[in-house]
A and B are shown apart, each in its own frame.
Chain A
Amino acid sequence: MRITQGMEQAQFLSSLNQLESNIAQTQNQISTGLSFTTASQNPVDAGLVANYSAALAQSQQYTSNANAAQTDLNTEDTALTQVQSQLQSLRDLALEANSGSVSSQNLTAIAAQATQIQSSLLSLANTQNGNGDYIFAGNAAQTLPFALTATGASYAGDQGQQQVQIAAGLTVATGDNGNVVFNQIKTGNGTFTVTPSAANAGSGVIGATTVSNPAAYTGGSYSIDFTAPNTYRVLDAAPPHTVVTFGTYTSGQTIAFSGLQVTLSGQPAAGDSFAVAPSSDQSIFTTVQNLVTALQAGNATPTAKTQLSNSIAAAINNIDQALSQTSTVQAGVGGRLNLITTQLSVATSQQTQLQTSITSLQGLNYASAVTSLDSQNTTLSAAMQAFTLTQQLSLFKYIS
């Protein structure tokens, strides 16, 4: 083939351009530390890197969500522990007041202490987190949830529960509303309550109440009526008031009917009655208020004493229910904290994995990059040298 000088020069220039652009690209790789910087240089890996980066950023957001949830749950956990400790103190006070040898003055003092505990509970129920949000107000986070009333406390929060996402498809509740923690506490033993009639004249005191056969109890209300101090009958509260059972009473006797067992002690008078009803929800504040009212009523007369005993027994039942309710809530909080801890460690290893994948796809192998830069340089200088040499070859040099 016939070669012309013009052709040689054009080809040298074009290969020079190519070699120099290769060197520029390798230099760019080395200075950025990335094997490609635009999608065109490696469309497949660029797509993967974009997906991994998105997954990484999302996982990091989940971690941040989980940390926020952890803070909220820890705040709630602390508050619940304090609520339980206050409830325990209240229970001790109630037991002390029920010991029988307490004077009216002491009862007043105990009532004052119970009022104090009520304030503490109120302040705990209105706990705010670092952002100033009320943690027991449900979703109404900026509304003061609890305010004392004559019969307990009103609740201005709602029944909502905040959730945050801590992993794909996994959300965790960051709190519990005050209604669940403080208001939805079952009265009595959790299934039914026994309440003495306010008109009772005898000294009948309610003892242990149990459900002996859950299947037999259908949620009905009954009335235990004493027709004589030693004779009782149990009537269905719903018309036509059929007699469910009847019998002879001695102090400490357990009366059983419809799957329930009620132990009474003391000596009821004829006409005394005790109402049996299914448990309903009662606010912890109402329980405390009722206890304070009963304590303040004193134990001056035998009737008052009997009423106080019954009130304290009811209060202790309710406090036990509240303790059980707060423990249940707290257990839930602990469970969620565990879940978050697990998820955080999963997220950490996932993020490491993603980071590794991104690096392996887009990260630069410096050794190979530097080697190829070296070889590209060699090629370039060899090309230059070869061109200079061939350019020197000209017949004109020899014509003289």
Chain B
Amino acid sequence: MSDAFGIDLSALQAFQQAIAVTSNNVANANTPGYDEESINLTTAAPQTVGFGGVPIGDGVSVAGVSRAYSQAATNQLNTSQSSLGQLNALQNYTSQIDNLFGTTAAGLSTALQTYYNGWSTVADDPTSTAARQALLGDANALASNINSTSTQLNSLNSDVNSGIVADVQQINSIATSIATLNQQIANNASSGSGQAPNQLLDQRDQLVSNLSQLVGVTTSTDSNGALNVFVGNGQPLVLQGVTTTLTTIPDQFNASQLDISTSTSDGNSINSSITSGDLGGLLAARSQAINPALNQLGQIATALAQSANTQQNAGMNLNGQLGANMFSVGAPLATASSLNTDNTHATVSISNIGSLTSDNYLLAYSAGAYKLTDTTTGANVPLTGAGTALSPLSAAGLSIVLSATPAAGDQFLIQPTAQAAGTLSVALTDPSRIAAAAAVQTSAANTNTGSGTIGPATVQNAANPALLNTTTITFLSPTTYSVNGAGSFAYTSGGTISLNGWQTKISGTPALGDVFTVQSNAGATGDNTNALASASQQAQGILSNGTTSVAGAVSALITGVGSQAEQVNTAQTAQSAVNTQAQTAVSSVSGVNLDQEAANLVQWQQSYQAAAQALTIANSLFTSFMDSINGTYS
């Protein structure tokens, strides 16, 4: 009889524990990272040999509690979370940039169009101060639109910095927690209890999952149960109970931008290996979305300023002076690496706007030679020149002069347009100083008897000091002429005559003694030649070797930004779906199904009731036996 009591007791205890495990499942149904647990029951080893030598079991025993866990599904989820984290962070920025540029209303295109229309209005009525004032207003509105866009892009870069700092802190804190858990798990293993520390494992898995949202990680498990975590290209973050700290360092070329490093990387950036997770997304947003947009905007600002200034310089203002610059814009940036071993610095200017790109370039000096790499395409850019003031290095529309011969291994980052958008401003304040007129005018004497006519003079070199001098072209015969009474030059109808920085054409058949004059256009306040030319720059190809106008570049920028945002949106949506799949897979293995738990509860309850009933029966059997003995001896 006593074996029946023992068996029943073991069953009651086992089913109590089973009900406890089930209740624990129900209690943790909504706990993140909780893996459904189940009780492992085994038959207890037979301890008594029954009547006739037949072994009878000794009840049930609890072998342990195991958790429903799939390493493959978990790894998949972690990887997918890293990708999603990266895309979420990137999308946050691309959609902000997309909104920043908008489409049509109040955007950059409109401001640019208004500016060019302002020139047209000045051309309609060059003497009107109101029209000139309006043009200055339009130019200021355009500059401030570009400035504020640049400010907002820069503030996005500050956001990226804050995000990087926050991510790095969180990653370090998670890494520390994982290391602590590793120690506890290892201790548990060495204690030899043989029972898996399910709660610790759940916690650690959840931490790895959180970590993988911040940065892509790979893991490996040691024999003592410790989990080693690696980031990037296998830089260790957690090894057993030891962590390597992630740090932020200022970029070697741009101290305002933070790079990622580790406590063991000697201050070297590991940016290039961080490609996923929130951290990867932040770095991608900076290098693929924010900085390119700033550079392209800067390229637009540079092209606008340079083309407008060149045209201004070739014209004459209301006061009879040659036009001064309309816009001022920051020069290309050239930063020496903080790792350079000497103080050589580079000065970069734009020599050819048509070849100017929105890319950044890395100038490296080693083995007595310069090497220029486009950091966007990675392509090597052929250089000419020696890097001196007399023979500047020349490539990609840039002219580079170094202050001295650099030390071997020195590097310089050249950002031709990075600061242009932020520094664009209108240099003119006085409406009368807008050069709406041509600098020089041509005229034919009324006493001319031939049929020769002189065309307008165009300015080829506004810097020529003699540009505004009066030049008299007198015909010595129908085929020869003198200039300012000197020389005898052969005349061809329609041929170009160049002098003092201007160029004009005389055509037809002039007669002996015919006189043509080229002189300063001072006083020609109604002349709109230069205003017309400035207005027509709207359609003039300036960038990309004269194939892209400023307006074209703006529209390409807006479309490019929009396409990028769309691409990221699409990728994010797709990755979300992938992530849901991965989550479902994990949840399908490890999640708690309440109906299942309810069924289990009923099952355990019934088993418990049955065991209790068995105990009652054993008890009544024992009572009957005692009663019969009592009857015999009484």
Contact = CB atoms under 8 A, between A and B. Distances in A.
Interface of A: 1-7, 10-11, 14, 36-44, 46-47, 49-51, 53-54, 57-58, 61-62, 64-65, 68-69, 131-134, 137-143, 158-160, 162-165, 168, 171, 179, 183-184, 219, 278, 280-281, 362, 393-396, 399
27 contacts: A2-B591, A5-B594, A14-B576, A37-B103, A38-B98, A39-B562, A39-B563, A40-B94, A40-B562, A41-B562, A41-B566, A43-B562, A51-B555, A62-B120, A64-B121, A65-B120, A140-B523, A140-B524, A140-B525, A158-B523, A159-B442, A159-B443, A162-B527, A165-B536, A280-B447, A395-B598, A399-B602
B601 interface: yes
A6 B562 contact: no
Contact of B584 (A7, A44, A132, A159): A7
A184 B117 CA distance: 36
B555 A140 contact: no
Interface in B20-36: 29-30
B124 A68 contact: yes
Given A64-B121, A163-B528, A164-B528, A54 B551 contact: yes
Contacts of B114: 57
A163 B527 CA distance: 9
Nearest to B535: A165
B539 A168 contact: yes
Contacts of A158: 441, 443, 521, 523-524
A7 B595 contact: no
Contact of A4 (B128, B523, B532, B587): B587
B526 A142 contact: yes
Given A43-B559, A141-B126, A6 B449 contact: no
A171 B529 CA distance: 11
B555 A4 contact: no
Interface in B201-243: none
Interface in B101-152: 101-104, 109-110, 113-114, 116-117, 120-121, 123-128
A2 B526 contact: no
Interface string B526-550: 1111001001101100000000000
B169 to A, nearest CB: 28
A49 B580 contact: no
Contacts of B65: none
Nearest to A159: B443
B588 A1 contact: yes
A278 B565 CA distance: 76
B592 interface: yes
Contacts of A133: 125, 127, 526
A394 B109 CA distance: 59
A61 B601 CA distance: 81
B458 interface: no
Contacts of B593: 2-5
A164 B599 CA distance: 89
A347 to B, nearest CB: 13
A141 B526 contact: yes
B567 to A, nearest CB: 9
Nearest to A4: B591
B589 interface: yes
A68 B128 CA distance: 13
B395 interface: no
Contacts of B598: 394-396, 399
Contacts of B113: 53-54, 57-58
A31 B629 CA distance: 96
Given A5-B29, A399-B598, 7 more contacts: A6-B30, A41-B566, A43-B562, A47-B559, A49-B104, A131-B128, A162-B526
A222 to B, nearest CB: 16
Nearest to B563: A43
A128 to B, nearest CB: 11
A40 B566 contact: yes
A21 to B, nearest CB: 11
B558 interface: yes
Contact of B591 (A7, A62, A64, A168): A7
A7 B449 CA distance: 98
A160 B441 contact: yes
B95 interface: yes
Given A159-B443, A395-B598, A131 B125 contact: yes
A47 B598 CA distance: 59
A163 B268 CA distance: 62
Contacts of B94: 40
A165 B587 CA distance: 70
B328 interface: no
A171 B532 contact: yes
Given A5-B594, A38-B99, A65-B120, A14 B580 contact: yes
A154 to B, nearest CB: 12
A280 B532 CA distance: 35
Interface string B37-63: 000000000000000000000000000
A161 B135 CA distance: 23
Nearest to B585: A1
A6 B555 contact: no
B446 A53 contact: no
Interface string B500-538: 000000000001000000000101111111001001101
Nearest to A11: B580
B136 to A, nearest CB: 18
A277 to B, nearest CB: 10
Contact of B594 (A50, A64, A281, A396): A396
A49 B558 CA distance: 11
Nearest to B528: A162
A186 to B, nearest CB: 10
Contacts of A134: 526
Given A50-B559, A159-B444, A184-B446, A4 B588 contact: yes
Closest 7 CB pairs of A and B: A39-B562, A141-B526, A4-B591, A40-B565, A139-B527, A139-B524, A395-B598
B93 to A, nearest CB: 12
Interface string B419-454: 000000000000000000100011110110100000
B247 interface: no
A156 B525 CA distance: 13
Contacts of A165: 120, 123, 532, 535-536
B583 interface: yes
A142 B525 contact: yes
B98 A395 contact: no
Contacts of A41: 562, 566
B559 A139 contact: no
Interface in B362-415: none
B561 interface: yes
A151 B170 CA distance: 95
Contacts of B591: 2, 4, 6-7
Contacts of B101: 38-39
Contacts of B470: none
A164 B121 CA distance: 9
B248 interface: no
B569 interface: yes
Nearest to A69: B124
A395 B446 contact: no
A1 B73 CA distance: 14
B445 to A, nearest CB: 9
A61 B447 CA distance: 41
A391 to B, nearest CB: 11
